[in-house]
Amino acid sequence: MKGLAVVARQLTLFIVLVLTLPGCGYSLAGRGSFLPSDIQAVGIPQLVNRTPFYDVEQILTEKVRAEFIGRGKYRILPEATGVDAVLTGEVLSIYVQPVGFTDQQLASRYMFTLQMKVAFTDSRNGQVLWSNDALTFREEYELATRGNAAIGGAEFLDQERSAFDRIASDIARTVVTAILEAF
């Protein structure tokens, strides 16, 4: 009888624990919002491009805006006026270097590296809420070949844009997550 009572108490304790765990406040990292509650509208003007790469500032700006919108809690505007906080940034450098080669010594894999400066500022008082002057992102990507020949220029540019689009999504997710989790 004593053994049955012990099992019954352990089972009761287990059920109580299972029922109370969902209320412990755990959530997935990168999906929370820890900004001050008075920040409802965020301005994200176009980033500045200090590189010779065309359109990177437009792609990155759109990805960052989309990531903030995806969090679903903020009104995102493309300007720095009439908002509670502003995200500004500059793309400082982009490097693309071969890291893998075919048997014919043609580049087949590239390392893409981007460095940028980002600041998130309370527009009402000018206080910088979060900043990073040296955010660095790296990703390798494959360059397709046709038989023994490297792909042509137009195809290379299409693949480069595709790789940058993937990297821009990662950059946006990283930036927005860092801002939201900084509080």
Which amino acid appears at position 33 of this protein?
S
Q: What is the pLDDT of residue 146?
A: 54
Residue 116: pLDDT band (50, 70, 90) is: very high
Q: Read off φ and ψ for residue 80, nearest 5 degrees.
A: -95, 0
Q: What is the pLDDT of residue 84?
A: 97
Number of residues in the chain: 183
Higher pLDDT, 137 or 92: 92
Asked whether the predicted pLDDT for residue 145 surpasses 80, the reply is no
Q: Report the alpha-carbon distance of residue 59 to residue 61 in Å, rounded.
A: 6
Asked whether the predicted pLDDT for residue 80 surpasses 90, the reply is yes
Please, what are the domains in the chain?
34-180 (3.30.160.150)
Which amino acid appears at position 111 of this protein?
M
Q: Note if the pTM is more than 0.75.
A: no
CA distances from residue 76 to 58, 124, 139, 172 in whole angstroms, order as listed: 16, 16, 28, 14
Higher pLDDT, 34 or 27: 34
Q: What is the pLDDT of residue 158?
A: 59
Q: What is the pLDDT of residue 75?
A: 94
Q: What is the pLDDT of residue 9?
A: 54
The H or E element that residue 92 is part of is: strand 85-101
